[in-house]
Amino acid sequence: MNVSILSANKSLYNGSATAVAFPGAKSPFTVLDNHAPIISSLTKGTIIVSNQAEQVANIEIAGGFVEVHNGEVTACV
């Protein structure tokens, strides 16, 4: 799946991944390939982007939101 993690100033991550773990406002959750469409708010924590069994990015955030739709994951933090 394609993943874009954006801040107000720059792109923090743009690439492919097999899993992305998010600090959800209600509880942490993980998005995998072919995930159902969702929009969720995010809280302070770490976004962990993985490709196969390897972590490719750990991004500390203060909050934001994420949208998952048709194999595209877009987070604004």
Going residue by residue through the chain (77 aa), what tens digit of pLDDT does each one get? 999 999 999 999 999 999 999 999 999 999 999 999 999 999 999 999 999 889 999 999 999 999 999 999 999 99
Q: What is the DSSP letter of 35?
A: P
CB atoms within 10 A of CB 52: 8
Give the strand pairing for 11-16 and 2-6.
antiparallel
Under the phi-then-psi rule, with left for phi > 0, alpha for psi from -120 to 50, and beta for the rest, what region is 47? beta
Phi, psi of 42, rounded to the nearest 5 degrees:
-120, 150
Cβ–Cβ < 8 Å for 39, 66: yes
Reported pTM: 0.93
